[in-house]
């Protein structure tokens, strides 16, 4: 049974990854192209300042893959593999939840698990550390930025599990509706406190001869006299990229949740066309 569930999860994850790639290819790719053009122009301006100041120029590394390959086959393959991994992880969490979270139907459980994983793995961390276009952000701080994001994911997961445990404990005393409200409020409060206390990416900066380079988004590049020689990254492109990134992840997890919910009754040997197919809880998987 577990192998069938994980297999179906990987299948719907692959479909979600494909659809998310097509969405991003149509909407986010033009923004990424503008971000790469911005990076190239900024590098040229900085090299000109370095050359005028007599500083050594960095050597350009070789491009292993062309931009056209990266934006089509490379990203598409990566998104599908990512979708498969997330679908399989979803299936594992689903198996752990079956029969252990109360009287929830297989379909509703699939939607709740997908929604919870989207919340923990992307939505809450996104509020603190939103996505930036490729090439935007200093490479010297990538390890710290990645560590902070993963820390936010871990905190979100722990808080969500604790909120579910709290809701279960209060269920007998307050009832389903009130216990759900209390646990949801507790999750929001604790997650908000974590968002406030964790350091922002704006504190990470790399000192340069021509001013600080903010790693969250590049600021205007200035010469030694303080004159702006290259503008900061456009705010409109930053907003659009983050919006499309959020929408692509939402699409991925919606496909995983809805797709698996459509398959769940059959996985448990129930006819999806019967009137009471959604009225039966799933038996525990051991």
Q: What 3-state class would DSSP assign to 270?
A: coil
- Which residue in 71, 120, 67 sits closest to 253, CA to CA? 120
- The per-residue pLDDT for range 23-48, each reduced to its tens digit, is 999 998 889 888 888 888 887 887 78
pLDDT in tens, 98-152: 877 667 888 899 999 999 999 999 999 999 988 888 766 666 667 888 889 999 9
Strands (E) across the chain are located at 205-208, 211-214, 221-222, 228-230
| Nearest alpha-carbon partner for 117 in 162, 78, 156, 166 | 156
pLDDT digits (tens, 9 = 90+) for 233-282: 888 998 999 999 999 999 999 999 999 999 877 776 654 444 444 444 45
Contact, 231 vs 220, CB < 8 A? Answer: yes
Helix (H, G, I), strand (E, B) or coil at 273: coil
Distance separating alpha carbons of residues 43 and 61, to the nearest angstrom: 13
């Amino acid at each position: 049974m577990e192998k069938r569930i994980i297999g179906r999860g990987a299948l719907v994850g692959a479909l979600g990854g494909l659809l998310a790639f097509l969405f991003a290819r149509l909407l986010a790719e033009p923004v990424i192209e503008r971000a790469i053009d911005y990076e190239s122009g900024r590098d040229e301006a900085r090299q000109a300042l370095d050359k005028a100041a007599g500083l050594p120029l960095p050597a350009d590394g070789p491009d292993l893959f062309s931009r056209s390959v990266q934006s089509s086959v490379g990203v598409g393959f990566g998104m599908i593999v990512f979708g498969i991994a997330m679908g399989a992880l979803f299936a594992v969490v689903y198996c752990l939840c079956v029969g252990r979270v109360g009287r929830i139907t297989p379909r509703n459980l699939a939607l709740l698990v997908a929604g919870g994983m989207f919340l923990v793995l992307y939505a809450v961390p996104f509020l603190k550390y939103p996505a930036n276009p490729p090439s935007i952000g200093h490479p010297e701080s990538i390890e710290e930025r990645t560590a902070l994001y993963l820390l936010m994911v871990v905190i979100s997961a722990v808080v969500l599990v604790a909120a579910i445990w709290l809701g279960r404990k209060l269920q007998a005393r307050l009832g389903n509706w009130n216990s759900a409200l209390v646990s949801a409020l507790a999750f929001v409060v604790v997650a908000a406190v974590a968002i406030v206390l964790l350091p922002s990416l704006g504190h990470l900066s790399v000192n340069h001869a021509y001013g600080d380079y903010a790693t969250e988004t590049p600021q205007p590049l200035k010469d030694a006299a303080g004159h702006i020689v290259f503008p900061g990254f456009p705010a409109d492109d930053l907003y659009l990229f983050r919006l499309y990134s959020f929408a692509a992840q939402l699409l991925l997890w919606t496909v995983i949740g809805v797709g698996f919910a459509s398959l769940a009754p059959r996985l448990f040997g129930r006819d999806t066309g019967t009137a009471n197919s959604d009225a039966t809880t799933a038996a525990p998987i051991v």
